[in-house]
Amino acid sequence: MITAFAQELIDALRKSSSHRLTAIVEMARMPAPARQPFLDRHAPNAWPLLNQPRFSNLRDVGPWLVAAAPGSDLQGQYDFHRALTDATSDALCGWLISALPPSALAGHLAQATTAQAPDGHAYMLRFHTELAFPILHARRDLPGIGQLLAPIQSWWVIEPHPERKAWRHYAGYDQPQLAGIPLIQLDQACWDALAGDPLSYSLAEQLREPLAASGFAENCHGTRLGLVGKLLREARAEGLRRPGDLADYVTLLALHGPTLRGMDAWQAALTEACNDGLPLAQALKSRAFPNL
């Protein structure tokens, strides 16, 4: 049965036979033993976006652009989408539709992997992530960002959601003849926004295996980020401020939420932590599990 998102992709591709579907895959999110077999399977239709010599040590774990076989019809591109979705799980970061040939599109996107910060120095820019891309798309006034979007018709990026894998659509300019990106230049507001909340990302990664072991139904990067974000907002609304308490709140409720929320000991521990008493996990242990 075709998913609603797959149908959205197919409907967009059906409008023009000149447009092709590609995907950005973050190799670092794929188990190490699976990376080379994956690239071998998709060669020669996979290109590293960190193709500059200065990124040579990161190339194999960085983002790659992957495409269906040349000449694939609509069914072939749907089959590519389905197979890649099944094979990549957490590693799949984005879907793109463009009339620019995939190899040229990879070269175009590779030019966006470096940006100039407000301090005048150049840094690696992870433009394709669920944190960075929405921020950059909203700042098309900055040098280089409009050019990044120029040859793209449609771009879908993971949207953090606490219960399911969700994709959000962003429109490009659909001008394949305008490939090529000058150095992206970020102002202070954009730079600060790109810093995001490091705690969310570290917790989402730390929870990957525990959630898998607990049987969490949609254990992908986007759902973990959505769940962590939801619980962090709850924790701050409760009055928690210390980083350790925030992390404990998220971890404990992500793994044991239904049980803990109904316990008087949980509410008492939460009150103590909010009042700068014992750390949340210790306060809970002293009340609920004193013999452990």
The answer to which of 82-86, 95-99, 222-226, 271-275 has the lowest mean pLDDT is 222-226
The answer to which of 40-44, 65-69, 89-93, 123-127 has the lowest mean pLDDT is 89-93
pLDDT at position 292: 45
Say if residue 106 is in the same domain as residue 52. Answer: yes
Last residue of a domain, one of 195, 210, 231: 195
C-alpha span between 248 and 285 (Å, rounded) = 12
Say if residue 75 is in the same domain as residue 203. Answer: no
Helix residue spans in the chain (DSSP H): 4-14, 32-42, 74-88, 102-110, 132-138, 145-149, 188-195, 198-206, 208-214, 221-238, 243-260, 264-274, 280-288
Last residue of a domain, one of 172, 195, 218: 195
Please report, for residues 52, 204, 241, 254, the alpha-carbon distance to residue 224 in angstroms, rounded to integers and kept in the order given: 32, 5, 21, 9
C-alpha span between 190 and 116 (Å, rounded) = 11
Say if residue 11 is in the same domain as residue 99. Answer: yes
Last residue of a domain, one of 147, 179, 195: 195
Say if residue 163 is in the same domain as residue 274. Answer: no
Average pLDDT score, the chain = 93
Say if residue 178 is in the same domain as residue 275. Answer: no
pLDDT at 222 over 90: no
pLDDT at 274 over 70: yes
Phi-psi region of 157 (alpha: psi -120 to 50; beta: other; left: phi over 0): beta
Find the mean pLDDT for residues 35-62. Answer: 95
Say if residue 166 is in the same domain as residue 279. Answer: no
Say if residue 81 is in the same domain as residue 207. Answer: no
DSSP-based three-state secondary structure for 137: helix
Say if residue 215 is in the same domain as residue 241. Answer: yes
Say if residue 32 is in the same domain as residue 133. Answer: yes
Say if residue 255 is in the same domain as residue 142. Answer: no
182, 175, 18: which is closest to 101 by C-alpha?
Answer: 18
pLDDT at position 291: 52
Packing angle between helix 221-238 and helix 198-206, nearest 10 degrees?
120
Instruction: State the residue range of the domain holding 43.
Output: 4-195
pLDDT at position 215: 76
Say if residue 55 is in the same domain as residue 140. Answer: yes
Per-residue pLDDT tens digits for 234-249: 999 999 999 999 999 9
Find the mean pLDDT for residues 250-267. Answer: 92
Task: Give the number of domains in the chain.
Answer: 2
For the whole model, what pTM was predicted? 0.83
C-alpha span between 48 and 36 (Å, rounded) = 13
Say if residue 27 is in the same domain as residue 86. Answer: yes
- The two tokens of residue 112 are 């966006």
Per-residue pLDDT tens digits for 159-175: 888 778 889 999 999 99
